Amino acid sequence: MHNESSALLLGKIHARRVRVALYAGGSLLIFMGLSWGLFFITQRLWLMIGIDVLMFVVGLTCLWLTKHNFTRSASFLMLISLFFMLCGMNVFLDIPNSVAPRSLHNFLLFFALYAHFILQGENKWVKYGVPLIFLAAFLVFASSNAGIVTNYVISDQIRIGGTWFNNVIAIIILCMMLYIMQADLSKQNKISRDISVALLDHQFVLYYQPVVDNQGIVFGAEALLRWNHPVRGLVSPSEFIPLAEQSGLIVPLGRWVLHSASQQLALWAKNPLTAHFTLAVNVSTQQFHEVDFVTHVLSSIKKTGANTSKLKIEITESVLIHDMEDVVAKMNELKSAGIGFSLDDFGTGFSSLNYLKRLPLDQIKIDQSFVRDILFKPKDAMIARTIISLGHDLGLVVIAEGVENKNQRDFLIENGCFSFQGFMFSEPLPVKEFERFAKVSLD
């Protein structure tokens, strides 16, 4: 759930561009409505004036919705009204003849591109379906004389001038779209480049959040990635992990994490005070589905000499959506080498209980969103209780994340959960501070 609520940088950049695109689209509708409307007033063509008033009102409403953060409603209002207005005008008003060609259909082409851009965040049916509908309509109007001649005819003279005007506007929209898309792409490229440089430049570090038992004694840690940015300071993973996933850089980044965590485990193994520590490592879905994921984990362990039984790989339910057979096979292979598995953010995703039985899991983690309101929201308390008893029935260790105060911890203990992680005990810490916290530091 934190993935949804956290400020995802890429999402933010794109959301800003969508707002710009909606402002531009709304302003364009206002401009077109006004200019054509004023012109048709001089011609006393009342139906046309009506259409232009509609265009003006839709444009204004889109600007208002965008300003008040209803960008999704603004997008749909804009696209639906544009589609019907454009098709209507193409069918009834802008019918090509030997004197003047059709021009309004060109807008359908550009708005297909526009729709694809502003619907990036929608599911694939909407993201690709809506532009396809615009393109199909463009194809019909561009390839035929399709139209219904009514007695409401605009003179050829107006249509000749109008064709030039409409096509100039369509070209301006095209340039605007290309500019916005280019800017979007170069921003993404820049961040991806920065991540690659950061990897080579050793700007990533692992922090360790203690995992404690009901006595408050540390028995392990979760490794959490931080980007030590030369200008921005410590950058949170919620900002860069989604970008690393988008660009595929999560694979080398994830390999680095696994390697560093294994190195740390190997170091802890040498000290009797720390040899029993478990270390959990987050593995993203894309990384897990790499063909050589298993080989890579095993080679990291071999190279560093880490004790496999202390390594816990944390996966989320999203790993399980694709090719369950492959997931189970990979997990079994790593499991037979002694590595453990933890199911992270349990209860927030694709919660089919059926898969739980099939996976060789060791732990499940109650997501912090349930723990946060465990004392105030009976539903969250009930979910937490259900997860705990389900975990026990399946013979799994249940860890509660995001425990921030004593009351939450006591509630969890009363309900049978004895392993915790959270700010009540400690934030994620650099390794030396973690060791001091766990009272195992030799310094």
Q: How far is CA 324 from the centre of its chain?
A: 22
Q: Which helix (H) or strand (E) holds 437?
A: helix 431-437
Q: Which does 391 bind (CB under 5 to 8 A by kind): Ca ion, ligand C2E, none?
A: none
Query: How far is residue 426's CA from residue 282's CA, in Å, rounded to a whole number?
Result: 19
Q: Which does 73 bind (CB under 5 to 8 A by kind): ligand C2E, Ca ion, none?
A: none
CB of 130 or CB of 294, closer to ligand C2E: 294
Q: Which of 94, 345, 380, 435 lies at the binding interface for Ca ion (CB under 5 A)?
A: 345
CB of 241 or CB of 396, closer to ligand C2E: 241
Residue with tokens 């950061």: 198
CB of 184 or CB of 239, closer to ligand C2E: 239
Q: Which does 396 bind (CB under 5 to 8 A by kind): ligand C2E, Ca ion, none?
A: none
Q: Which CA distances in Å does 395 have to 223, 400, 420?
A: 24, 16, 17
Q: Which does 37 bind (CB under 5 to 8 A by kind): Ca ion, ligand C2E, none?
A: none
The answer to whether the beta carbons of residues 261 and 223 sit under 8 Å apart is: yes
Q: Determine whether 83 is exposed, middle or buried from the number of CB atoms within 10 Å of its CB (0-12, 13-18, 19+).
A: middle
Region of residue 227 (phi > 0: left; psi between -120 and 50: alpha; otherwise: beta):
beta
Residue with tokens 């959301």: 15
Quote the least distance from Cβ 374 to ligand C2E, whole Å: 12
CB of 14 or CB of 312, closer to Ca ion: 312
The contact set with ligand C2E (CB under 6 A) reads: 2, 209, 224-225, 236-238, 241, 254, 257, 282-284, 344-345, 368, 401-404, 421-423, 428
CB of 51 or CB of 281, closer to Ca ion: 281
CB of 93 or CB of 280, closer to ligand C2E: 280
Q: Which does 257 bind (CB under 5 to 8 A by kind): Ca ion, ligand C2E, none?
A: ligand C2E
CB of 163 or CB of 426, closer to ligand C2E: 426
Quote the least distance from Cβ 129 to ligand C2E, whole Å: 31
Q: Which CA distances in Å does 390 have to 357, 375, 377, 396?
A: 11, 20, 20, 9
Q: Which does 209 bind (CB under 5 to 8 A by kind): ligand C2E, Ca ion, none?
A: ligand C2E
Q: Which residues contact 367 (CB under 8 A, 6 or more apart)?
A: 1, 344, 345, 346, 347, 348, 401, 402
CA atoms within 13 A on the CB side of 331: 24
Query: What are the DSSP E strand ranges found in 156-217?
Result: 204-213
Considering only residues 279 to 298 of the shown chain, the ones binding Ca ion according to CB under 5 A are 282
Distant-in-sequence contacts of 80-84, Cβ < 8 A, 24+ apart: 81/54, 82/29, 82/58, 82/107, 82/111, 83/108, 83/111, 83/133, 83/134, 83/137
Q: Under DSSP, is residue 365 helix (H, G, I), strand (E, B) or coil?
A: strand
Q: Is 90 in the site for Ca ion (CB under 5 A)?
A: no
Quote the least distance from Cβ 124 to ligand C2E, whole Å: 24
Amino acid at 76: F
- The full DSSP string for 310-329 is GEEEEEEGGGGGS-HHHHHH
Quote the least distance from Cβ 293 to ligand C2E, whole Å: 12
Quote the least distance from Cβ 222 to Ca ion, whole Å: 6
Quote the least distance from Cβ 167 to Ca ion, whole Å: 54
Quote the least distance from Cβ 141 to ligand C2E, whole Å: 48
Quote the least distance from Cβ 144 to ligand C2E, whole Å: 52
Quote the least distance from Cβ 214 to ligand C2E, whole Å: 17
Q: Which of 94, 239, 317, 344 lies at the binding interface for Ca ion (CB under 5 A)?
A: 344
Task: Summarize as ranges the residues that interact with Ca ion (CB under 5 A).
Answer: 282, 314, 344-345, 401
